[in-house]
A = this chain, B = another copy of it.
Amino acid sequence: MRNLKLIISYDGTRYRGWQRLAGEPNTIQGKLESTLSRILEEPIEISGSGRTDAGAHAMRQVASFHCQNPMSCETLLQQLRTYLPEDIGVQSCQEAGLRFHARLNAVSKTYVYRVWNSEAPCVFERKYVYRMDASLDLNAMRQAASHFLGQHDFLSFCSNKKFKKSSVRTIHRLEIESVGPELRFTVEGDGFLYNMVRIIVGTLLEVGMGRKAPQEIPDILAAKNRELAGYTVPANGLILWEVAYQ
């Protein structure tokens, strides 16, 4: 028995998200599992570091799986690159310790969210940015962003109303860079609730538009009420950037 670790990039535009769904061939996990099972000639189930939403992307998603086939990592990598569609790219394939698990061992994740804040067209990267041309107060947004840092209960920033487990998470970094007409949000934390990054970005954009004040963020967090936070920005601007392990 071996345990292998993959680092994968994908353009999520035409997929129903990461997670395998019964009867739905068009998921990233499903596509990887069926391709791996065919190449390795044994049924393969992979564990990703976490799910990504329908339409969201990944630069360096991590997945692990057990298999019996002794095929070298190099050959498997070549085969995967041959058989996977061009919107799923395997960056690397490595032997991992038998106890390594892509989700359970992840200690932090970084997401990037890209906003194209201009009336000008964004032809070439249109599938990877959320377009909105409202005028935004970047200072107010950065002030609001600072309130998210550290450990908080993020229930107000979770779309899943029936969430039963702990909704306490720690955000280590939340930066907003201005790159030409683009605003780029980088969020790093120990884990994220369902839609949490997209609701945080939507809330920061509402602050930027003057609909919310930066100092409201602590109250919104304290209220544990999804209704008080901002809107959920679209998935296509979201990219899982990287996953860190100990």
A121 at the interface (CB under 8 A from B): yes
A28 to chain B, nearest CB (A): 11
Q: Out of B90, B119, B123, B126, name the residue touching A121 (CB < 8 Å).
A: B90
Closest to A126 in B: B86
Docked complex Cα distance between A9 and B87 (Å): 23
Set of chain B residues within 8 Å of A126, measured between Cβ atoms: 11, 86-87
A81 close to chain B: CB less than 8 A = yes
Copies of this chain, complex-wide, total 2
- Chain B CB count within 10 A is highest, among A11, A86, A124, for A124
| Smallest CB separation, A114 vs chain B (Å) | 11
Answer whether residue A122 sits at the interface, using C-beta atoms and an 8 A cutoff.
yes
Which single member of B91, B123, B128 contacts A124 (CB below 8 Å)? B128
For A87, the chain B residues whose CB sits under 8 A away are 123, 126
Q: B88, A123: Cβ atoms under 8 Å?
A: yes
- A124 and B86: CB pair below 8 A? no
24 A–B contacts from the bound complex (CB under 8 Å):
A9-B121, A9-B123, A9-B124, A10-B123, A11-B123, A11-B124, A11-B126, A57-B124, A81-B119, A81-B121, A86-B121, A86-B123, A86-B126, A87-B123, A87-B126, A88-B123, A89-B120, A89-B121, A89-B122, A89-B123, A90-B121, A91-B120, A91-B121, A124-B128
